[in-house]
Amino acid sequence: MSTKEYVDKVIAEVKAKTAGETEFHQAMEEVLNTLVPYLDKHPEMIKAKILERITEPERTVMFRVPWVDDKGEVQVNRGYRVEFNSAIGPYKGGLRFAKQVTLGTLKFLGFEQIFKNSLTSLPMGGGKGGSDFDPVGKSDAEVMRFCQSFMTELCKYIGPNTDVPAGDLGVGGREIGYMFGQYKRIRNEFTGVLTGKGHEWGGSLIRPEATGYGAVYFLCEMLKAKGDSIKGKTIAISGFGNVSWGTAKKAVELGAKVVTISGPDGYIYDPEGLNEEKVAYLLELRGSGKNIASPYAEKFPGSKFIAGKKPWEVKCDIAMTCALQNELKGEDAKALIANGVKYVVEVSNMGCNAEAIELFHKANIPFAPGKAANAGGVATSGLEMAQNGEHLYWTAEEVDRQLHNIMINIHDACLSAAKEVGQEGNYQVGANIAGFRKVAKAMMDQGIV
């Protein structure tokens, strides 16, 4: 059997035993398909069934999360933690609270996290969790009661050397605070069991900005590799949450023109570009808890709201997905290419579908996959863990400096891994191989576990 046939067989078997987990299938196929040239040179990994093992989470917990809403009615959600791989460190990854969350969603995110965390060069395994709890329109008291109930169960499975969750969609500083408080109360210990904490109680400076800053640092390296620079470039970004905010903040600071943001309701086109005031307004928009982007257009005349559409139809040099999985599909890629896009950076996890990625490759447009470009968030979580372990705080400059170095190293690791398998300039292949080989080697060293 050729390596390609072997990989196809593993993909088919994984799909058959995880029926219905479509987002996980997409993420798993995307990674496994790119590993063929690497596995060709490593038959010992095929023999040790590394692919069969790495696609099966070490452990998954699913649990009931009962809570009482403001009207006194009992609500029941489902909580999850997928502890995917601990070969190179404790499970690490965010918690996502969103209505549409399923086991398949969290398995895709947990699977991506294995390779992303490996790319950071920090000792972190891969995990992800969350709930189908919908934070939209919930009161502060409801969010607190939900978080406390969620943590009452989750606290049995996590710990600073076991599994360290963080935020993701629907989980920010407020939710991390409520969950940390409950963990501390039940376990009677003050430890770095979560990252993204408030700075007063163990959180790292720059963690809120880190995902967006890191993505822009990665973009700057891509530009540099082509003898180009970010200054004066027109950038279309999606979303208006934490990741979009950090991305816009750093891009604007470095002299780019960010002309779009978006929400589930549509997108904002701001031809003058965002400035410091508009970037700061994103925090207000998110804080409103309404999950819509349209109020931006009322606040800033000169910008307009386009209902029900995505920002990928505007003319831009650089497109950066900062919202959700599969938010940029084949037809969006075609529109971007027709409008002359020069670089695409996936900042959301699996922001582009397979067809879109293929189109960017065919058009010779440098494409950065999320697991490389958005790794700055979890990398800074790793730096938060290091500070907690040392019982120290580092300055913002120190954290930012380390984040910047990590992103430069990830960029270079992607390019050199791609080159080794004869696919020069292919960040997707490079990220997957560079992320995979470290975890696979660790698994080989640790025996059949």
347 and 321 Cβ atoms separated by less than 8 Å = yes
In the complex, least distance from residue 135 CB atom to ligand 2IT, rounded to whole angstroms: 15
Catalytic member of 116, 128, 257, 278: 128
How many angstroms separate the CA atoms of 39 and 11, rounded? 15
Report in angstroms how near the CB of residue 381 gets to ligand 2IT at its nearest.
3
The letter for the amino acid at 368 is A
Q: Which is nearer to ligand 2IT, 67 or 217 (CB)?
A: 217
**Which are the contacts of 272, defined by CB distance < 8 A and separation ≥ 6?**
302, 303
Residue whose pair of structure tokens reads 């002359």 in the numeric block: 340
The CB-of-319 to ligand 2IT minimum distance in angstroms stands at 19
Report the alpha-carbon distance of residue 174 to residue 143 in Å, rounded. Answer: 9
- Phi, psi angle pair for 435, to nearest 5°: -70, -45
In 3D space, the residue among 164, 209, 221, 168 whose CA is nearest the CA of residue 373 turns out to be 221
Query: How many C-beta neighbours within 10 Å does residue 91 have?
Result: 29
Nearer to ligand 2IT, 166 or 314 (CB): 166
Round to whole Å and give the CA distance between 316 and 313. Answer: 9
Per the DSSP assignment, residues forming a β-bridge with 168 are 171
Burial 256-283 (b: 16+ CB within 10 A, else e): bbbbbbbbebbbbbbeebbeeebbebbe
User: Cβ closer to ligand 2IT: 164 or 316?
Assistant: 164
Instruction: Tell me how far apart the alpha carbons of residues 388 and 391 are, in angstroms, rounded to a whole number.
Output: 5
CB nearer ligand 2IT, residue 45 or residue 373 = 373
CA distance 83 to 125: 9
- 376 or 430: CB nearest ligand 2IT: 376
Q: Which is nearer to ligand 2IT, 263 or 351 (CB)?
A: 351
Contact residues toward ligand 2IT (CB under 6 A) are 92-94, 116, 166, 168, 195, 349, 377-378, 381
Q: Is 249 left (phi over 0), alpha (psi -120 to 50) or beta?
A: alpha
Active site residue 17: no
The answer to whether 319 and 341 are in contact (CB under 8 A) is yes
**Which residue lies nearest ligand 2IT, judged by its C-beta?**
94
Nearest distance from residue 84's CB to ligand 2IT, in Å? 13
**Could you say which DSSP state residue 135 is in?**
-
At 142, the amino acid letter reads E
Comparing CB distances to ligand 2IT, the nearer of 50 and 194 is 194
Instruction: Report, as residue numbers or ranges, the catalytic residues.
Output: 128
